[in-house]
Amino acid sequence: MAGLDATDRRILEVLQASGRISNADLAERVALSASACHRRVQRLEADGVIRDYVALLNPRKMGVPTTVFVEISLSGQADDVLDAFERAVGRIPNVLECHLMAGSADYLLKVVAEDTEDFARIHRQHLARLPGVSQMQSSFALRTVFKTTALPLDG
């Protein structure tokens, strides 16, 4: 957050909630002229603070309402084992997130599926074939209580 002033943070807060807002509306919401607001957004993009703009889809409407968190332990920690695993897991379309962890598991995956039968298929066809896996534990989310993509911007 170094180098971001209060106006930058207000711009980012609005964009995180409403990425399709027009520059004119954004400028009005953050009390800037349209040209000054545009320059700031361009700088935030150029600096890599704003990484991308996306459409967030409704998993239920897309037919993948089931979320499964999968903890994976590998047989070793050598770079080639980690690299092979990460390359392979990155090719599985139902895996939304993959995190290298500290703790009891080496990796935590967030997987979406149609239902438990679909997850069994994903497990059988993809997860069980990942290189270097020694142990896997899956936990099904019963209900999403809270979910956001917005990062905290408090100064």
Give the model confidence (pLDDT) of 125-145 as tens digits. 999 999 999 999 999 999 999
Strand stretches in the chain, DSSP E:
66-74, 95-100, 107-113, 133-140
Nearest 5 degrees, angle CA 141-CA 76-CA 99?
Answer: 35
Dist CA 81 CA 64 (whole Å): 30
Cα–Cα distance for residue pair 14/34, rounded to 1 Å:
15
Instruction: Provide the residue type at 129 as one letter.
Output: R
DSSP output for 11-55: HHHHHHH-TT--HHHHHHHTT--HHHHHHHHHHHHHTTSS----P
Domains and CATH numbers, the chain: 6-46 (1.10.10.10), 66-140 (3.30.70.920)
Q: Give the CA distances from residue 33 to residues 24, 27, 83, 119, in Å, rounded to whole numbers and listed in that order.
A: 8, 6, 48, 50
pTM, full prediction? 0.90
Q: Are 9 and 16 in contact (CB under 8 A)?
A: no
pLDDT in tens, 59-108: 999 999 999 999 999 999 999 999 999 999 999 999 999 999 999 999 99
- Angle subtended by helix axes 34-46 and 6-17, to nearest 10: 80
The tokens describing 36, both together, are 């000054």
| pLDDT given at position 82 | 97
The whole-angstrom separation of Cα 145 and Cα 57 is 17
